[in-house]
A and B are shown apart, each in its own frame.
Chain A
Amino acid sequence: MIRVDGRGDSKSLIQVRGLTKTYRRGGEEIHVLQRLNLDVDKGDFVAFMGPSGSGKTTLLNLLGGLDVPSAGGITVDGDEITHMSGSKLTHWRARHVGFIFQMYNLIPVLTAFQNVELPLLLTKLSSSERRHHVETALSVVGLRERMNHYPRQLSGGQEQRVTIARAIVSDPTFLLCDEPTGDLDRKSADEIMALIEELVGKHGKTVLMVTHDPMVAARAHTTLHLDKGVLVEASQLEQGVVAGGVA
């Protein structure tokens, strides 16, 4: 269950309380996120929408431990991440977060296999164990046959599949997707979304996704809108009501 009222149960996988992010630009303070609350349970699939500059990516960066909030806290699976040191946060990310970016961001000089293997190089797994995990992840995304191909030898959709395999290979606690279909044609986008749905439905992954595309957002269990730094659930946005709990 996803809630944005701050009354979620303490068993929620992700708990965000009073999250505030303020930037200073040219002496002016820009309040990107204002005392934002969010509760996400394991296996939830939530999409964040909102106009450009509304703070969607900032929220994703904060949830992924890539940025630090000006105030408030984020707890993931019992770990309060907002006060972690830089190096602790790095280790935490390696264990708990899988990132899927709009531009894929694969290493062009490494094959699909080697790209997917990267997060596992940070673990103590042996070479054969790593191979097993990588082949499994590539099988999940349907690219096991192309594991020795370089990114330039793959289509955009296939590159994004490799990115997804890289994100899931270490079995992270949750996945963060920043416009995962933003650079793809409709057909490829559908395939990627079907894959993400499969990860949620079949493999029980928790996914938080930022998108501009309402059709993509519609595939999520819940769509939340960021408006003026506050999260609003889609149906309530239509009714003009500030969000409560959403099943």
Chain B
Amino acid sequence: MKFWRLIVANLFRKKVRLILTIGSFAIALLLFTFLAVVQSAFNRGIDIAGADRLVIINRIGLIQTMPISYGDRVRAIPGVKYVTQDHWFGGVYQDEKNFFPQFAIDVDNHRQVYPEFKVPDDQWKTFVKDQQGAIAGARTARRFGWKIGDRIPIKNSLYGAAKTWEFNLDGIYSTEKADGDESQFWFHWKNFDENVPAAVKSTAGWYILKLDSPDDAVRVAKTIDAQFANSSYETKTETESAFAASFAKQFGNIQFLIVSIGSVVFFTLLLVTGNTMAISVRERTGELAVLKAIGVTDRSVLFLVLGEAMMIALFGGFLGLLLAWAAIPVLSVALNGLLPPLLLSKAMLSLGLVFAVFVGMVSGLIPGIGAMRMRVVNALRRV
């Protein structure tokens, strides 16, 4: 890289143009990273779903319930290790914009089915003994400044007349993975069952079961659905990842939307950088011709142009990722309740950098090949 000085010097030749190009690149990369983070947030449930877990929902839909008696019947099926049930609560803490998911859980089996949610033993024991108790995810606790022992009032109007349910915060759970879901709020299913109208009593929103082996998934799912076929509460059993995927689809075809916008961002970025490089090369036709005349090879000329495009891409890329790193936590807070938590992982940052390098490479390729193929005699004649 003896020509690095020339690459750097050329880069700063038109400072305003360089700043505008790098700025466009950075903004576009910020948008691209944001889209990738949103997509990842929607898919997080699919990514972290346990391979050995099945979810049973009412065949009519997720908001329809099933009898609590199904739990024991499912538990009796060979290959099923643990069964637990959840019920959606859907309450409001202080204001509707303060959304976080709340579930009435089966305290006897929940921990066995979800070992990835870590609750200190002493906190869990307190929770088990306290029927008014609750456990919150670390993120939600941080968000509202809750600490253990706090009394948490949650207003609910889904089950009978609107009333405020009060819970004792007995524990805070966390996850080992950085992108784990730490937003949930759990309380006793028994508490729920005792305080809801008769029509909702003794029901489960969905069952989650842990298998002895993931290899049993298909057989167990078929057995469960066959067992409850032609009943008043037919079931639909699927793997947790399939369940998470169909849950994500409820928001619309997010994948398509994000890929479409991402593609537009990509091509716009390609055109902006490509155009800058094309103009830059055209302005320097004579200089490139002289370089070739004194013995710089065609391949080196290509690398000079590519090097410049890559420098723009790297500067713009770093700036865009820096902006993303600063902006995404702020956006995540601002969009709380509208979108799942937005997390910018190291993998996402690396992906952004790879994307930047790729765009730099492609945008420099066409003007670079043009410069490489340029005939010295013709170029000197134009000077």
Q: Show the binding face of A for B, using Cβ within 8 Å.
A: 61, 64, 66-67, 86-87, 90-91, 93-95, 99, 101, 103, 105, 107-110, 114, 118-119, 121-122, 166
Residues of chain A within 8 A of B296, CB atoms compared: 90, 94, 118, 122
Please, which residue of chain A has its CB at the minimum distance from the CB of B3? A121
**A51 and B381 alpha carbons, distance in the complex (Å):** 17
Q: Which interface residue of B5, B12, B295 has the most chain A CB atoms within 10 A?
A: B295
Q: Would you call B293 and A118 a contact (CB within 8 A)?
A: no
B377 CB within 8 Å of chain A: yes
Residues of chain A within 8 A of B214, CB atoms compared: none
Q: Would you call A114 and B290 a contact (CB within 8 A)?
A: no
Residues of chain B within 8 A of A87, CB atoms compared: 297-298
Chain A interface main SS type: helix
CB distance from A163 to the nearest CB of B (A): 9
**A109 and B19 alpha carbons, distance in the complex (Å):** 18
Total A-B Cβ pairs within 8 A: 65
Known contacts A109-B10, A110-B5, A110-B9; is A90 also within 8 Å of B380 by CB? Answer: no
Known contacts A114-B5, A121-B2; is A105 also within 8 Å of B295 by CB? Answer: no
8 contacts between A and B (CB under 8 A): A90-B297, A91-B295, A94-B296, A95-B295, A105-B290, A105-B383, A119-B295, A166-B294
State which residues 366-383 of B face A: CB under 8 Å. Answer: 376-377, 380, 383
B110 CB within 8 Å of chain A: no
**A90 and B9 alpha carbons, distance in the complex (Å):** 24
B291 CB within 8 Å of chain A: yes
Chain B interface main SS type: helix
One digit per residue, 1 when the CB lies within 8 angstroms of any chain A CB and 0 when it does not, for chain B 250-293 equals: 00000000000000000000000000000000000011011111
B177 CB within 8 Å of chain A: no
Residues of chain A within 8 A of B298, CB atoms compared: 86-87, 90
B13 CB within 8 Å of chain A: yes
**Contact among B2, B286, B290 for A99, CB-based, below 8 A:** B290
CB distance from B191 to the nearest CB of A (A): 74
Q: Would you call B295 and A122 a contact (CB within 8 A)?
A: yes
Residues of chain B within 8 A of A99, CB atoms compared: 290, 293-294
B148 CB within 8 Å of chain A: no
**A66 and B296 alpha carbons, distance in the complex (Å):** 12
**A107 and B7 alpha carbons, distance in the complex (Å):** 12
CB distance from A78 to the nearest CB of B (A): 19
Residues of chain A within 8 A of B286, CB atoms compared: 103, 105
For the complex of A and B, the 3 pairs showing the least CB-CB separation, nearest first, are A94-B295, A109-B9, A121-B2
Residues of chain B within 8 A of A66, CB atoms compared: 293, 376-377, 380
**A12 and B151 alpha carbons, distance in the complex (Å):** 103
B218 CB within 8 Å of chain A: no
**A108 and B6 alpha carbons, distance in the complex (Å):** 10
Residues of chain A within 8 A of B297, CB atoms compared: 87, 90-91
CB distance from B50 to the nearest CB of A (A): 59
Please, which residue of chain A has its CB at the minimum distance from the CB of B376? A66
Q: Which interface residue of B13, B290, B291 has the most chain A CB atoms within 10 A?
A: B290
Residues of chain B within 8 A of A93, CB atoms compared: 293-295
Q: Would you call A118 and B294 a contact (CB within 8 A)?
A: yes
Please, which residue of chain B has its CB at the minimum distance from the CB of A61? B377
**A94 and B3 alpha carbons, distance in the complex (Å):** 16
One digit per residue, 1 when the CB lies within 8 angstroms of any chain A CB and 0 when it does not, for chain B 1-21 equals: 011011001101100000000
Q: Would you call A90 and B3 a contact (CB within 8 A)?
A: no
**A16 and B90 alpha carbons, distance in the complex (Å):** 93
